[in-house]
Amino acid sequence: AQTVTQSQPEMSVQEAETVTLSCTYDTSESDYYLFWYKQPPSRQMILVIRQEAYKQQNATENRFSVNFQKAAKSFSLKISDSQLGDAAMYFCAYRSSVGGAQKLVFGQGTRLTINP
Amino acid sequence: DSGVTQTPKHLITATGQRVTLRCSPRSGDLSVYWYQQSLDQGLQFLIHYYNGEERAKGNILERFSAQQFPDLHSELNLSSLELGDSALYFCASSDLLTLTDTQYFGPGTRLTVL
């Protein structure tokens, strides 16, 4: 079974600075999808960014980018120019590409605090 | 707004009772997933329905059941409730016909069992 590990329960960063959240995963599959979801105090789960394992290019979405290292099974999230609205729990998630196995497997989350 | 709706937002009930959580997927999405978020277990997959048929089961208790109706909305039924069932229950939907198949989450239903 696949597992996802987020080793940083909490992180903090100064507003306008850059922060990187870590995520590692374990799988025997060669094709899969990885996601970062954000959960602000409202508790809504919001998709931040996604990465297809077959793509070598790292995904980017505005101030959010990932560092995908397939061999190392690492998928970190970099937030540039941090804003107060970025404060939230961040969850890394894995999804198999095998048919019928579309469930998301989540890490335990990293709570990000933005200091003004 | 993800386009996924869940009702009710909050539910407070007593042990031993039965409740029903409702989810309406995004327009056009055929897949519905249910997840449970609790302090001790984190985010756990419960069950997946596609176009009315059960596709996969996760860590779903026998006291819990779900179904997806012809109009594609889904209901999660929780019975013989215990204190430990208190959690945030999320529904997510996706369109399996697209390559991305990203799951979009509803706002969740917070269940409190007293």
pLDDT 10s digits, A19-65: 999 999 999 998 899 999 999 999 999 999 999 999 889 999 999 99
- CB-nearest partner of B45 from A33, A103, A109: A103
Residues near B5 by beta carbon (within 8 Å), at least 6 away in sequence: B23, B24, B106, B107
Whether the predicted pLDDT of A101 surpasses 90: no
3-class SS string, chain B? CCCCEEECCEEEECCCCCEEEEEECCCCCCEEEEEEEECCCEEEEEEEEECCEEEEECCCCCCEEEEECCCCCEEEEECCCCHHHCEEEEEEEECCCCCCCCCEECCCEEEEEC
Whether the predicted pLDDT of A100 surpasses 70: no
pLDDT digits (tens, 9 = 90+) for A72-91: 999 999 999 999 999 999 99
pLDDT digits (tens, 9 = 90+) for B29-44: 999 999 999 988 889 9
- Interchain proximity A44–B105, CB inside 8 Å: yes
Minimal Cα distance from A47: which residue of B? B104
Residue A97: which pLDDT band, with cuts at 50, 70 and 90?
confident
- Interchain proximity B105–A102, CB inside 8 Å: no
What is the length of chain A?
A: 116
Residue B96: which pLDDT band, with cuts at 50, 70 and 90?
low
Q: How far apart are CA B44 and CA B90, in angstroms?
A: 10
- Interchain proximity A45–B105, CB inside 8 Å: yes
Q: How far apart are CA B5 and CA B23, in angstroms?
A: 6
Residue pair B51/B71 in contact (Cβ under 8 Å)? The answer is no
């059941």: which residue's tokens? B65
CA distances from B91 to A8, A21, A97, B10, B110 (A): 27, 26, 20, 14, 12
Which residues does B contribute to its contact with A (CB < 8 Å)?
2, 31, 33, 35, 42-43, 45, 48, 55-56, 58, 88, 90, 92, 94, 96, 100-105, 107-108, 110
Name beta bridge partners: A39: A89
Rounded to 5 degrees, φ, ψ at B78 are -120, 125
Q: Residue range B8-26: average pLDDT?
A: 97
Top residue of B1, B30, B39, B43 to mutate, by most chain A CBs within 10 Å, is: B43
